[in-house]
Amino acid sequence: MSLALVAGAALRAQLSDADELVIAAVTSSPHAARGPAVVHVGHELEAKPIPPGFLGLSIEYTALLPYAGANGPNPVLVQLIRQLDPGQSPVLRFGGDTTDWSWVPVPGMAKPRGVHYVITPQWLDAAAALVHALGAHVIFGVNLEADRPAVAATEAGAFVDAVGRSSVDALEVGNEPEAYGFRAWYHTPAGTPVPGRRPSYSIRSYAREFSRFARMLPSVPLAGPATGSGGWMAGLPGLLSAAPRLRLVTVHRYPLNRCAAPHTEHHPSLARLMAPASSRGLARSVAQAVSTAHAHGAELRVDELNSVACRGQPGVSDTFGSALWVLDTLFSLAGVGVDGVNIHTLPASVYHPFVLERTAAGFRWVVDPLYYGMLMFAQAAPPGSRLLSVSGSTRPNVRIWAVRVPDGQTRVVLINAGGRRGRSVKLTIPAAQAPAMLTRLEAPSLTATGNITLAGQSFGDATQTGMLAGTPHLTAVSPDDHTYALRLAPASAALLTIPGDPGATPSRRASGTSAHRP
């Protein structure tokens, strides 16, 4: 059986009841066991490499100033974002619910009734300072629900002028328009909810509006439909055909929903978050949309992702379990060909990866469990990394991902999503002979909200630098007949870095490490 990777094939790994885990032949070629070619970058694999700027943040308009400050970008924020995309240009998305609740005032126009946040010159200056400090690229959401092209055009012009055209990846037209027909956009003085559109509003309606608004927007790529609806994703072929300026398809994904009725399958619990359906199943739910976008020459970005919709669930979104969930989910989305992911955040949520807290002694930055999982992904899968096939028998709570990085190293991430039992692992890699370095991500339990360490380091209760503190603790693991043996603690993850052939030359296809994605 060929071990060449087919995109998403790792999602179909079979689970067994054996306590000992054996991962066999992580390799780039069915003939790899015969010689040292197995340590090369993996140019024979067909799956696309992980692009630069793959992991970004989605920030609500109301959250920028509390995070970045009004007097220049907060250096801790800059550091926290930068180390998620080391050596790259991060992709930030400004938007979310506040996309359709915000505006840049239009001269001579009364504020639309559904708007309650004003994007001021101070906001634009803060956005520009953060973007330029990071060398970031940006997706800006523009107000569609107001149904006034002049509102969207004024916003778009202000955004482009503030950060510069070259820093704008796309202008995203509206946010979750599938809800326009039933969700209240504003309330009358008597308290009656008024939706932004009629109940019959559909993706065809959106396509017509998109084209009408596009004629008023600057000549930069456009994004949409910023949808979380499976039905709307099924309508993407028609939208892409009707809207030639749509170059970035954007979708939203949350495996669980705090607003869901109790006892339904999407109501949040930690057990549900740790289930494969919440990570690998989530990735499968966008696989067809990825294929559709790529077939039309567009990219697809999950530009709003987190654990629990409706701003998160205490005891789920703020636990160490969320770190293991996001680590598995990011690899899963890369496995189905997603072009990028933005983790959604705002201070008034449970699921933020970090937050600036006010205390009696002043302000302090608190790094939450979710961020640790994001950081391990960034360390494991730099730009140009190619997913490798993983075969063998695993226990239900153990998930494994392997990549070949451009310098020839093989990196394997192992996740024990079970909170009760450790697992023994034997990892066989043909031609691997040198000692590998093991980095562990650990916490006291799945439910822990603190005392988390990555390579023995931690951000502690608060950080003044945005950098891990403490002495790094790495473990050397020597192979025995090309096999690495290790033990996964309960509720933990590990990153095993296996040296490549020092004489190997990275393939041109897999060595893409440009500052920004193509």
pLDDT at position 1, please? 31
pLDDT at position 47, please? 67
- Give yes or no for a contact between 379 and 495, defined as CB atoms under 8 angstroms apart: yes
Distances (CA, A) of 249 to 85, 291, 434: 22, 11, 43
pTM of whole model > 0.85? yes
pLDDT above 70 covers a percentage of the chain that reads: 87
Distances (CA, A) of 253 to 77, 309, 462: 25, 9, 29
Distances (CA, A) of 490 to 271, 318, 321, 370, 418: 14, 18, 11, 18, 6
pLDDT at position 507, please? 43
Lowest mean pLDDT among 8-17, 63-72, 340-349, 408-417: 8-17
pLDDT at position 395, please? 66
Distance in angstroms (rounded) separating the CA atoms of residues 170 and 69 = 24
Does 382 sit behind a cis peptide bond, omega within 30 degrees of 0 on the bond before it? no
Distance in angstroms (rounded) separating the CA atoms of residues 289 and 268 = 25
Q: What is the pLDDT of residues 167-212, one digit of tens each?
A: 999 999 999 999 999 999 999 999 999 999 999 999 999 999 999 9
Phi and psi at residue 56, to the nearest 5°: -135, -170
Q: Which pLDDT band, with edges at 50, 70 and 90, does 138 fall under?
A: very high
**Closest Cα partner for 95 from 279, 266, 288, 250?**
250
pLDDT at position 514, please? 38
Distances (CA, A) of 392 to 3, 236, 324, 395, 426: 11, 36, 21, 10, 10
- What is the rounded average pLDDT of the residues 382-410? 85
Distance in angstroms (rounded) separating the CA atoms of residues 289 and 269 = 28
pLDDT at position 393, please? 61
Count the Cβ atoms, other than its own, within 10 Å of residue 14: 8
- Start-to-end Cα distance in the chain: 33
Q: Which pLDDT band, with edges at 50, 70 and 90, does 400 fall under?
A: confident
Distances (CA, A) of 387 to 26, 200, 330: 10, 43, 12
The SS3 of residue 239 is: helix
- Give yes or no for a contact between 170 and 222, defined as CB atoms under 8 angstroms apart: yes
pLDDT at position 287, please? 96
Distance in angstroms (rounded) separating the CA atoms of residues 319 and 321 = 5
Amino acid at 87: G
- Give yes or no for a contact between 232 and 210, defined as CB atoms under 8 angstroms apart: no
* Domains annotated on the chain, with CATH: 9-47+382-498 (2.60.40.1180), 55-361 (3.20.20.80)
Distance in angstroms (rounded) separating the CA atoms of residues 162 and 131 = 10
Phi and psi at residue 311, to the nearest 5°: 70, 20
Contacts of 466 (CB under 8 A, 6+ apart): 75, 76, 77, 78, 79, 80, 83, 365, 367, 459
Q: Show the tokens assigned to 376.
A: 């391990």
Say whether pLDDT at 394 is over 70: no
The residue written with tokens 């093991």 in the block is 438
Amino acid at 278: S
Distance in angstroms (rounded) separating the CA atoms of residues 355 and 126 = 17
DSSP 66-127: HHH-SSS--HHHHHHHHTTSTTS--EEEE-SGGGGGEEPPPTT-PPPTT--EE--HHHHHHH
The residue written with tokens 């701003």 in the block is 311
Q: What is the pLDDT of residues 303-312, one digit of tens each?
A: 999 999 999 9
Distance in angstroms (rounded) separating the CA atoms of residues 415 and 266 = 23
pLDDT at position 444, please? 97
- What is the rounded average pLDDT of the residues 506-513? 39
pLDDT at position 430, please? 76
- Give yes or no for a contact between 496 and 511, defined as CB atoms under 8 angstroms apart: no
Say whether pLDDT at 13 is over 60: no
DSSP 217-228: S-SS-EEEEEE-
The residue written with tokens 């509206």 in the block is 174
- What is the rounded average pLDDT of the residues 286-294? 97
Q: Which pLDDT band, with edges at 50, 70 and 90, does 49 fall under?
A: very high
- What is the rounded average pLDDT of the residues 374-402? 87
Burial (0-12, 13-18, 19+ Cβ within 10 Å), 199 = exposed
